[in-house]
Homo-oligomer: A and B are copies of this chain.
Amino acid sequence: MPRKIVVIGAGGAGLTAASTAREHNPEAKIDVFTEDEYIAYSPCAVIYAIEGVIEDFDSIIMHTPEYYGKKRNISVHTKTKVASVDVDKKIVNVADGTSMPYDALVLATGGRMFVPPIEGVKLPGVYTIKHVAEGKAMKAALKKTDCVVIVGAGVIGLMMAVAVRNLGKKVTVLERYPNVIPRIIDEDMSAIVQKHCEGLGIKFVMGTPITAIKGKEKVESAVAGGKEYPCGMVIMATGVRANLELPNQMGLEIGQLGAVRASTTLQPYRNDHLVSDIYVAGDMIMCESAATPGPIMSQLGSTAVRQGRVAGINAAGGYATYPAALSPWVTYLGEIQAAGTGLSKGLAEYFGLSIVEGKAVGLTRARYYPGGKEITAKIIADKETHRILGAQLVGGEEVTGRINWMTGAILNNVTVEEFVTSYENAYCPPTSMVKDVVNQAAEVLMAKLNGSK
């Protein structure tokens, strides 16, 4: 009898799990269930399709259910809700009344947009961004309005603000925290990003939570700090919470961050015991931080595919682990790129760590080479051990590789001194300074830690 693998969820985590399971087990019967109509796309790509940088929504979809069927012998059941899972009997019960037994189950139902329960939030003209269907509706609606309020200045809120601004709309961003991309990057780095976005014509109302949305039949304004901001559309970019419907029904343990607690093999817990033959992955789970002991959620596409791979190997009967996450991320905001990895100042404080910061401003090319763009690097280290805990970058180009570089250093518990002494950078005038801005920041940090300069 071939192994029966069932995957619930068809985002990055679920489909990577299914494909990886197929690679590791050519014989298995693999079924994927999703409530969604469209599969295999990056939610952040929806924003580019709304803006029109990407011509149509179809092109962001990597593969169709038919492709999975024909090319990988994986059955994808779209628009199909799973009502419950019987963990003891190892059976998935579909909402249409059918059921399917499994040998191994991958749960990857992702996250749900969190929308604060304020007045007017159900009015026509209030949108969230995650699914293709929502994106299509928003794109059509944007043609009929000139003025948009975006709630939340996190990465998704800012990406959306830039996209809508590029479409020529008036854009106001409301944020309850005092700085953009709050908690994940520090105030000084936030300030660079906010200034850049303001330069694009985006207005910010900071430290001011939205309290209501006004309108008779549809959105007419958003209210924050007692002031009314007239608009034809409100986009809620107020974060993603783990989708806990099935985990709760299944009795899986939920951790302190409100997500499914998982072992390094990505197995969930139930009644204080690891559950055999169930694996969890993606936006719905909580794992260990690789920067410091403590839990984090890593709700990133890159994390989803990494966790999906591990879940898929294990579901296929192999063995793989996902030990811990640093959640390196990068975003592109109209000619500027911002990125981070490991702990920010705020997160380090949350974990009770004393930190020292080093920062440098440089260029992405040699000073004399045309086209160089400003880039700011910041490194955070533990005051006690001098271990690098986090890094942040904001610059005009070539930011992604640098944040991966720092991610590797943190993973290997590298101290600032070791970084300065041994972390060579590659150099040629069109792609870097002879001493990279990251190395410069590390030298500043080392001087501070050693009390000189």
Q: Which residues of A contact B (CB under 8 A)?
A: 12, 23, 42, 44-45, 48, 53-54, 59-60, 62, 290, 300-303, 305-306, 320-332, 337, 339, 341, 366-370, 397-405, 407-409, 411-412, 414, 421-432, 434-436, 438, 453
Known: A12-B434, A403-B426. 15 other contacts (CB 8 A): A23-B453, A54-B369, A60-B368, A300-B427, A301-B427, A302-B424, A306-B435, A321-B421, A325-B424, A400-B428, A401-B404, A404-B423, A405-B405, A408-B409, A412-B412
Question: Which residue from chain B places its CB closest to the CB of A414 in the assembled complex?
Answer: B412
- Whether B432 and A368, one on each chain, are in contact in the complex, defined by CB atoms closer than 8 angstroms, is no
Given contacts A405-B405, A423-B411, contact A368 B54 (CB under 8 A): yes
CB distance from A47 to the nearest CB of B (A): 9
Contacts of A62 in B (CB 8 A): 367
| Complex contacts, A397 vs chain B, CB 8 Å | 397-398
Bound complex: CA A272 to CA B134 (Å): 75
Q: How far is the CB of A416 from the nearest CB of chain B, in Å?
A: 13
This protein's copies in its complex: 2
- Is the beta-carbon distance between B305 and A434 smaller than 8 angstroms? yes
CA distance A436 to B424 in the complex (A): 22
Q: Give A40 Cβ to nearest chain B Cβ, in Å.
A: 11
Residues of B contacting A408 in the complex (Cβ-Cβ under 8 angstroms): 405, 408-409, 412, 414, 423
Is there contact, CB below 8 Å, between B431 and A332?
yes
Give the shortest distance, in Å, between A394 (CB) and chain B (any CB): 13
Please determine whether A427 and B330 come into contact, CB atoms closer than 8 angstroms.
Answer: yes
Could you write out 25 A-B pairs with CB less than 8 Å apart?
Answer: A42-B366, A53-B370, A54-B370, A59-B368, A302-B424, A302-B427, A302-B435, A305-B435, A306-B424, A323-B422, A324-B422, A328-B425, A329-B428, A330-B431, A331-B428, A332-B430, A398-B400, A399-B431, A400-B427, A400-B431, A405-B405, A405-B407, A405-B408, A407-B423, A407-B424
